Chains A and B, each alone.
Chain A
Amino acid sequence: MSLGDIITQVVEIVLSIAAGFIALLALNLRRALVDRAYKARALWTAVGALTIISLFLANYADTIYNVGTINLADVVVETTVWGFTFLGLFGWIVSNANVAIHADYFNRDALAWKRGGMIASTVFIVGLFIFYNFPPWLEPPPIANATGWGGIVDNVASDLSYVIIFYAAAVIAISYRRISDLRIKTYTKWVVASMASLFLSFVLPPFVTIVPAVLWVFCMYRTVGALAIRTRKLPS
């Protein structure tokens, strides 16, 4: 193991501890809040923080399980970790799009999100995950692999999933401009920054991905801080 690998692992462990702490803060807030919509937002923020840990674990799982013989337990663990990361992040984005629309006094439904957009996106993303993680013994015959249809389906599915993520991000961005509540505006700003850091971690070359990971954890910390204003000294 090289020095670079050791440093990366140490940083990932530190970031995972920080992410766990962020999730704990969000869950504590959830317990204190009364309104259901805001409780849900705090819960999804905790899930969003935990996906930081699960993404690290998923990358390790890929490294470990892709060497030697693959057994069913390996597949189940890898699928579960990736499932939590993938669906957790999507759920976090969806909950934030809902909050952004909810915070607009005029209830303007950006890009028909509440009129079917959210449900269609969720069904597609969850369906996509299930399709690609179908238990092998239930898997339908490959779609004419010989003719290359499988590859086309993969590409279309992958492109559509990017379209959906950008759709949800666009809903948040449009709603952000319409929010009058400065606190929710600040919160949404950090959510967008977190999403941007996450996006960077996917597009940057592997040797610099730790930088957006640090940014991601920092932005998630600020997101939790902006969830609700807390006071340590009650006025008399």
Chain B
Amino acid sequence: MVSTGVPTLDQILNDGYPDKSSILVLGQSGLGKQALGYWFTKSGLTQGDYCLYVTHKPVTDVTRDMKGFGIGSDRVPEWIASSGSPVKCDLRDSTSISYNIKQALARNADRRIRVVTDILSPLLVLNPSESMYSYWSQLVDEAKRYDAVILALGDEEMHTPATIAAMEQLFDGVLELKLFEEGLSVTTVLRVRQMLGQPPLHGWFRFSFVHGMMEVTPNVTR
């Protein structure tokens, strides 16, 4: 198992994400998808894994955001970003992004690899859905040739339910984040929709960032 970087989420998932798996994190912007990616990357860097962060944002924006979650820049992942990285992430050229990810995987074949990416939704918006299914299918299959875990972050509200359902089929695990409103109180909640090798997990968990730590607590039962 590969630690998620969030101890309480590791407990829920029986020690983390499965080896050689692809995980899709769904939820609207602001709920902490990126934070899950940061903590997953941080955990990998601490354990000496090769970490690749593929983002449509500039490196400076992401590192600033990481610092906000208490993640220092003493150890950094390899970047494929829109600017500030040796290898550029150009959303208009999805083929080169895929090629660069595959090259990075091949170069680090002897190590455990963690890939975090936020380009899933932009690519689905900018390209025909059908071509993106085969694109992600190929990428996920390629990653499984190595000791790699891919964490893809997607904005559920941006796509049709049919598109989301089709994308879910490509991934071994799906985490979902939502904002739950009860009276005047609003809470971010998380559920594990599916996870390779695990029976379906029912129920929603409270997802928060308190005292410099991400926490997943079983407070929401519905």
Residue ranges of A at the interface with B (Cβ–Cβ < 8 Å): 24-25, 28-29, 31-39, 41, 102-103, 105-107, 180-184, 228-232, 234, 236
Contact = CB atoms under 8 A, between A and B. Distances in A.
A35 B155 contact: no
Contacts of B142: none
A51 B95 CA distance: 49
A105 B180 contact: no
A34 B207 contact: yes
Given A107-B83, A182-B158, A183-B157, 18 more contacts: A29-B179, A32-B188, A34-B35, A35-B34, A41-B30, A105-B91, A180-B126, A183-B28, A183-B29, A228-B28, A228-B30, A230-B180, A230-B181, A231-B179, A231-B181, A234-B178, A234-B191, A234-B222
A181 B57 CA distance: 15
A38 B186 CA distance: 14
Contact of B31 (A34, A105, A236): A34
Contacts of A32: 179, 186-188
Contacts of A25: 184
Nearest to B119: A105
Contact of A180 (B65, B125, B179): B125
B166 to A, nearest CB: 18
Contacts of A184: 29
Contact of A236 (B30, B181, B222): B222
A231 B188 CA distance: 10
Interface in B45-72: 56-58, 61, 65, 68-69
Contacts of A228: 28, 30-31, 179
Nearest to B81: A107
A15 to B, nearest CB: 20
Given A105-B122, A231-B180, A231-B181, A181 B30 contact: no
Contact of B126 (A24, A105, A107): A105
B189 interface: yes
**Chain A CB within 10 Å, residue with most, of B31, B58, B189, B191:** B31
B43 interface: no
Contact of B82 (A34, A107, A183, A232): A107
Main secondary structure, interface of B, reads mixed
A236 B187 contact: no
A108 to B, nearest CB: 10
Interface string B9-42: 0000000000000000000111110110000000
Contacts of A180: 122, 125-126, 158
**Chain B CB within 10 Å, residue with most, of A29, A32, A36, A231:** A32
Nearest to B32: A34
B198 interface: no
Nearest to A183: B157
13 contacts: A28-B184, A28-B185, A35-B29, A35-B30, A41-B30, A180-B125, A183-B158, A229-B28, A229-B179, A230-B181, A231-B179, A231-B181, A234-B191
Interface string B181-222: 110111111010000000000101001110000100000101
A35 B158 CA distance: 18
A38 B35 contact: no
A106 B181 CA distance: 32
Nearest to B221: A234
B188 A107 contact: no
Given A29-B186, A234-B204, A34 B91 contact: no
Contacts of B208: 34
Given A32-B187, A34-B31, A183-B28, A229 B157 contact: yes
A183 to B, nearest CB: 6
Contacts of A39: 30
Contact of A107 (B56, B65, B207): B56
Nearest to B91: A105
Contact of B202 (A33, A182, A232, A236): A236
B181 A232 contact: yes
Nearest to B207: A34
